[in-house]
Structure 1
Amino acid sequence: MAGNTITKPSDLSCTPSRAARELGLKRGEFDLAVHLGRIRTAPDEGGGGRRVTRAEIDRLRSADGFPDTLLESVRTVGTTDGAALMEVTSARFTRLARLGLVVPVKFYLNRYRAVVWLYLAEELRQFAADKNHTALLNGRTPEGMRDQLQEGLDLRPRNWRGRHLGFLLRQAGDPWEHAGALAALLDPVQVAEIVQDPYERAYLNRFRPDPPAHGAPGSPAAHLAERIMTAEDPDEISWLRADLTLVLDEARSHRPAPRPTAELTAPRPTAELTAPRPAAEPAAPRTTAEPAASRPTVHPVGPPRIPEPVGPPPSLSEHPPGPTPEPARSRGMLGWLRRRSA
C-alpha cells in the first residue's frame, strides 16, 4: 500500500559521484560547479560527507538548455586558450591576470611542478565584451600598472585564495566551521598567536579544511599547493586575522571548545595513596624438599641472642692477660752472652 511506503535517505539525495553522472558532468566539473555555487549540496546526516538532493538535480535538469548551459558555465581554459578567446596575445593575457583583472578559478601543477592557472571561459568572454576594457585589451598598458608588474606584482594566488575562501564559507554550517575556513588561509604560527588556548586550537583544527590535493602528502607538489593556500601579503594577513578574531568570539558563545572533564583530571585522595597495604596471607607449606641454601632461616621468638666472638677461644687462666712470655731458650742464650761479656 502507498501509505506504508518507507522513504529511504538515499531516495531523497545521492552521492556527488552519482549526481555528476546524472548531470552529465565529469567529477572535476561537478566539484567546480559546487565551488561556484552552481550546484547546491547538503550535509549528510550520517556524517558521510555532502550529498545532492533529488530536488536539486531536478531543478538543474529542468533548466533551459540543459546540459549544454551547465557544461559551458564550468568550462575552464588556460593562458593560451584564454588569450585566444579574448583575442589578445598570451603575454598581454598574463599581464592582465597578474594585475588581478582576470581571476583564476583553479590551478594544477604540471610535470615540471609549474603552476598552471585556469580561468572560467564565461568570465573571460564577459571581460572582453565590456567596452570599458577596450583600452586594456588593445592599447598600451598604463604606466602605473607597468610599474607594478616590474616590481613583481602577481595577484593570481591571492585572487584564487579569495575565491576559494568564498567556497569554504558557503559550505560552513556553524561559527566553528566559519573560523576553520579563515584559519585555513593563515600560517599555523599566525593561528597560534590568535588562539592561544591549546584546547581551542585543537578544536579549531578539526574544522580547518586541507589545501587542494596535489601529489602525495609531504611531496614537493603538496608543499607548493600549501604555500599557494597560505596568505602572504601583509594586508591580506591582517584582515584574515581580524575576521578570525571576531568569528572566534561568536564560536565561543555558540559552543565552547571541549575540555577534559573534572573526573579525569582530579587527583586521587591522599588517604587512598597512603593507605597501608593489606598483609599478605602466609604461603602454604611446600610438599617437596628444598635445598638448605634456598630455605629461609627462621629465628625463634624471644630475646636476641648475643653473637659469639670470632677468633680463638679465650684463655682458661684466671689471671688477667699480660705480655706474652719469651721462650725458655731465648732467656738462656741472653744470659750466657751477658756472663761472657762480663
Structure 2
Amino acid sequence: MPGQHAVTHDTTAIAERPGAAREARIGPGRAARELGLKSTEFDLAVQLGRIRTIPDDGGGGRWVDRAEIERLRAGPGFPEALRRSVQAMGTTEGAALIDVTKTRFTRLARLGLLVPVKFYLNRYRAVVWLYLAEELRLFAADDRNTPLLTGRTPENLRSRLDTGIDLRPRNWRTRQLGFMLRRADDPWARAGAVASLLGPSHVSEAVPDPYDRSHLNGFRRPPPSHGAPGSPAADLAEELMTAQDPDEVAWLQADLVRLTEEARAHRPAPRPAPRRPEPVQRAPEAVEPVRGTSRGLLGRWRRGNR
C-alpha cells in the first residue's frame, strides 16, 4: 500500500541517515518515530510487552535501548506486522471484522468473551471500548466459538445477560493490572499496582499501618488521563479504574496484603526517627558560703557580738 511504503521508507531513512546519533538508549517519542508507530500505538505496544523499555535512573520516565529498536526492525514484516499487532478498534469495526452484528458483538463483550484493551470517552462522555484486532481474529478463527458467532445465543448466556452483567470494566481493570505489574521494577511498585484498583477505604482495610499505607500511596498509578483532574471525564475514568464487585475487591485485597508483606520484608517503609528523651532538669543545689566572702565575715561578726 502507498501509505505503508511511505512509512517504511521514512523509518529506514531515520535509521540510516548519516548524521543520526546512535545513542545507547532513546526516548519514547523518537523510538515511536523510528518504529513507524503513532504515540498511542507505541504506548499500547509497551503495555502489551511488544516493546521492552528500561526505567530512567533518575525516575524521569522510561527509555528504549538501541538494541531493542534494532531487534524490532529486524523482525519479519516490519513495520506492518508491528503496527498490526497493536491495532485497536471499536465495536463497529470489530463486529465487521468477525462478521457479526454490533448487538451480538456487544453481548459477547459484556459476557467477558471479548476483552477490551483500552477505552476513550467521546464528546458525550460515553465510554467507547477498544479491542485488539489480533485477538478478535483469533476468537473468530477458533471453531469452539462458532456457536457464539452464529445462531441463537445459548440459554445460559442469555440468562446472564438478562441480569445486566457487563464484565467489560472488570476485564479492562484486570488487563491494566497486568500492564502495571509488567512495568513494576520494585516490590513496593507491585503492591502499588494492586492498590491502584482499590478505593481508599479498601486499601486501609488491607494495609492498616499508616506508614506502610503512606509509602504505598506513592506507588499507586493514576487512571488513564481523560480530562482535567476533578472534571466529570476524569471522575468517570477513576470510577472505571476502581474495583466494584465484592469478589473482585476481596481478591485484590488478598493480593495487596501478600505483596505489601513482601515489600516490607524487602525494604521497610520509612518511619519518623524516634524522639530522644529530653534530659531531666535538676534543681540547683544550695551553695555553702565560702569563707572570706562578705556573707561569711558578716556572720562571724554577728556571732561575736551576741
**SS of the counterpart of 2:191?**
helix
RMSD: 1.4
Counterpart among 147, 172, 183 of residue 135 in structure 1: 147
Counterpart among 176, 188, 199 of residue 188 in structure 2: 176
How far is the alpha carbon of 1:52 from its aligned partner?
A: 0.6
Counterpart among 256, 260, 263 of residue 268 in structure 2: 256
Partner of 1:271 in structure 2?
A: 281
**SS of the counterpart of 1:261?**
coil
Counterpart among 201, 208, 213 of residue 213 in structure 2: 201
Residues 208-232 of structure 1 deviation map (CA, whole Å, 9 limit, x = unaligned): 1111110000101001000100111
Counterpart among 222, 233, 238 of residue 250 in structure 2: 238
**SS of the counterpart of 1:38?**
coil
1:84 and 1:188 map into 2 onto residues whose CA distance is: 41
Q: What is the identity, as a one-letter code, of the residue corresponding to 2:115? A: V
Paired residues, what number? 263
TM-score, length-scaled by structure 1: 0.75
Counterparts of residues 62-211 of structure 1 (less than 5 Å)? 62-211=74-223
CA contact (8 A) 2:117 2:131 kept: yes
Instruction: After the TM superposition, list the runs of 4 or more consecutive aligned residues in structure 1 that deviate by more than 2 angstroms.
Output: 265-272
**SS of the counterpart of 1:108?**
strand
1:203 and 1:182 map into 2 onto residues whose CA distance is: 14
Counterpart among 35, 38, 61 of residue 47 in structure 2: 35
CA contact (8 A) 2:206 2:254 kept: no
CA contact (8 A) 2:112 2:167 kept: yes
Partner of 1:321 in structure 2?
A: none
Partner of 1:16 in structure 2?
A: 28
Partner of 2:71 in structure 1?
A: 59
Q: What is the identity, as a one-letter code, of the residue corresponding to 2:96? A: A
How far is the alpha carbon of 1:268 from its aligned partner?
A: 3.4
TM-score, length-scaled by structure 2: 0.83
1:127 and 1:194 map into 2 onto residues whose CA distance is: 37
Counterpart among 216, 219, 225 of residue 231 in structure 2: 219
Alignment gaps of 5+ in structure 2? 1-21, 285-306
Structure number with greater Rg is: 1
Percent identity of paired positions between Structure 1 and Structure 2? 66
How far is the alpha carbon of 1:270 from its aligned partner?
A: 4.1
Alignment gaps of 5+ in structure 1? 1-9, 276-342
How far is the alpha carbon of 1:150 from its aligned partner?
A: 1.0
How far is the alpha carbon of 1:46 from its aligned partner?
A: 2.3
Q: What is the identity, as a one-letter code, of the residue corresponding to 1:25? A: L
CA contact (8 A) 2:36 2:79 kept: yes
Residues 161-185 of structure 1 deviation map (CA, whole Å, 9 limit, x = unaligned): 1111001001111211110001001
